[in-house]
Amino acid sequence: MNSVLVTGGAGFLGSHLCDRLIEQGKNVICVDNFFTGNKRNIAHLIGHPRFEVIRHDIVHPIYLEVNEIYNLACPASPVAYQYNPIKTIKTSTVGMVNVLGLAKRCRAKVLHASTSEVYGDPNVHPQVEEYWGNVNPLGPRSCYDEGKRIAESLCVNYHHAHNVPIRIVRIFNTYGPRMDPNDGRVISNFINQALRGEPITIYGDGQQTRSFCYVDDLISGFLKMMEQEETTGPVNIGNPVENTMLELAEAVLQNVDSDSKLAYEPLPQDDPKQRCPDITKAKTILKWEPRVSLQEGLGKTVEYYRQLMNQESA
């Protein structure tokens, strides 16, 4: 039996990954401490004969028998990872050591979900995997940025020292249903403000850019990365189409059919001015590129948040 462990499996990305793995006929063990994960994300899987959920924090060792591990355990939004920065660092260091130790014992393949945040506020645009980044190691985002950089180093060193088969993907801004409406990310903020008729908060002049990848596309990239044998990575997984924050706000307002106005606030410290992946490796090695347009993805995400608001007000 092919058993797959998904750490952070009750989170936004983890729950979608669990769905796809179940569809593939895999036996899935979801491990989550439910700090940012949510039971509603996996409620539909509870009782499935090939799905198991364990409440556990990977900062503490866990002993399982698995063939593959997808390591998604770590709060990913600034609101969440700055809430307890020391715990965030420990998840990416102590937790990563525990995951790799488990993989070493089981001879399991590990896919580690890293992040575009390892590039910091980049001086190279678009960002290629060979770029070492421009990260402030002492700033408010460093608990996440530097933790993820250390996690990548741990993966590579376990691979070289113990022959642990690893795959590293660097995730660029991803959105879609099950994204926590209160996580402070730009798409969730904009959609919820528009749905409530509140002003849309624009930081700085709104000309900073991000590239937005719909969750279904991202998960397809994960699966292709795990299956291939050509590279350990890192490989960028994201959408190479850039949008300014003003363009995103306009797209959200159109999707919601809202007349919310724009409200400008100062730019947060160390907030990147540009963020866009070079996905040449993903295209050539994985034969992967995003397929869902921003308008289509926003439509599905807006509908999800509408349903959440209706449930809360019922």
User: Taking the domains of the chain in order of start, what are their residue ranges?
Assistant: 3-174+214-237, 175-211+241-272+292-313
Spatial contact of 225 and 281, defined as CB atoms under 8 Å apart: no
Q: What value does the mean pLDDT take over residues 81-95?
A: 95
The predicted structure's pLDDT at residue 311: 86
Residue 123 predicted with pLDDT over 80: yes
The predicted structure's pLDDT at residue 1: 65
Homologous superfamily assigned to 175-211+241-272+292-313: UDP-galactose 4-epimerase, domain 1 (3.90.25.10)
The predicted structure's pLDDT at residue 184: 85
The predicted structure's pLDDT at residue 267: 84
Whole-number average pLDDT of the chain = 95
Q: What value does the mean pLDDT take over residues 85-103?
A: 97
Catalytic residue among 70, 81, 119, 144: 144
Q: What value does the mean pLDDT take over residues 283-305?
A: 97
Q: From 2.30.30.90, 3.40.50.720, 2.30.30.40, 1.10.10.10, which CATH number describes the 3-174+214-237 domain?
A: 3.40.50.720
Beta strands in the chain (DSSP E): 3-7, 27-32, 51-55, 68-71, 109-115, 166-171, 174-175, 200-203, 209-211, 213-214, 235-237, 242-244, 262-265
Residue 238 predicted with pLDDT over 90: yes
In the annotation, is 214 catalytic?
no
The predicted structure's pLDDT at residue 314: 67
Give the pLDDT confidence of 18-28 residue by residue, as tens digits.
999 999 999 99
Residue 313 predicted with pLDDT over 80: no
Q: Is-cis flag, bond preceding 126, omega within 30?
A: yes
